[in-house]
Structure 1
Amino acid sequence: MDKKTEEFYVRLKEELGNTSEWPSEYLYKFIVPTELNKILEIEGAFNDMGAVIKTHQSKAGKYTSVSVNVRMESPDAVIEKYVLVSGIEGIISL
């Protein structure tokens, strides 16, 4: 992980700790190229967590947005999921 990314996660953890009480609902939003295996990888990261996952394909069909609403235990747990899915080629976390 590069220094810029690490600094982002430090700020995110601090902000989440200051603005929410934990455990809390958290909404992840990702954009990936429309490839089933990439969408399934994201969904797999949230298996057995009771997550509500919605997908929406772009108008041209080239990209798919994936929204994941899930109850997370802590800011650290939120960040762990971001790090887990960051290895998916072409993913953009919003």
Structure 2
Amino acid sequence: MDKKTEEFYVRLKEELSNTSLWPSEYLYKFIVPTDQNKISTIENAFNNMGAVIKTTESKTGKYTSVSVDVTMKNPDAVIEKYLQVSTIEGIISL
């Protein structure tokens, strides 16, 4: 992980710790090139967690947005999921 990415996650953890009581609902938003394997990989990362997952294809069909609403136990768990899906080629985390 590069320095800039590491600093982002440190700031995110601090912000999450200061603004929410944990466990808490957290909304992940991702954009991926429309590819069922990539979408499935995101969905599988949240499997058996009671997550509500919504997918919306772009007008051109080139990209798909994936929203995942799930209860997370703490800021570290939130960041762990971001890192887990960050290996998907072309993913953008919002």
Tell me the TM-score normalised to structure 1 length.
1.00
* Structure 1 gap ranges (5+): none
Q: 1:9 Cα shift?
A: 0.1
Q: 1:82 Cα shift?
A: 0.1
Q: 1:68 Cα shift?
A: 0.1
CA displacement 1:11-40 (0-9 Å, x = unmatched):
000000000000000000000000000000
Partner amino acid for 1:40? S
Identity of aligned residues (%): 81
Tell me the distance in 2 between the aligned counterparts of 1:26 and 1:76.
12
Q: What's the secondary structure of 2:59's corresponding residue?
A: coil
Tell me the distance in 2 between the aligned counterparts of 1:91 and 1:5.
15
Tell me the distance in 1 between the aligned counterparts of 2:2 and 2:86.
12
* Structure 2 gap ranges (5+): none
Partner amino acid for 2:30? F
1:75 aligns with 2:80: no
Partner amino acid for 2:47? N
Question: Could you say what the CA RMSD is over the residues aligned between the two structures, in angstroms?
Answer: 0.2
2:18 equivalent in structure 1: 18
Partner amino acid for 1:61? G
Question: Counterparts of 1:1-94 in structure 2 under 5 Å?
Answer: 1-94=1-94
CA displacement 1:19-72 (0-9 Å, x = unmatched):
000000000000000000000000000000000000000000000000000000
Tell me the distance in 2 between the aligned counterparts of 1:4 and 1:81.
18
Q: How many aligned positions are there?
A: 94
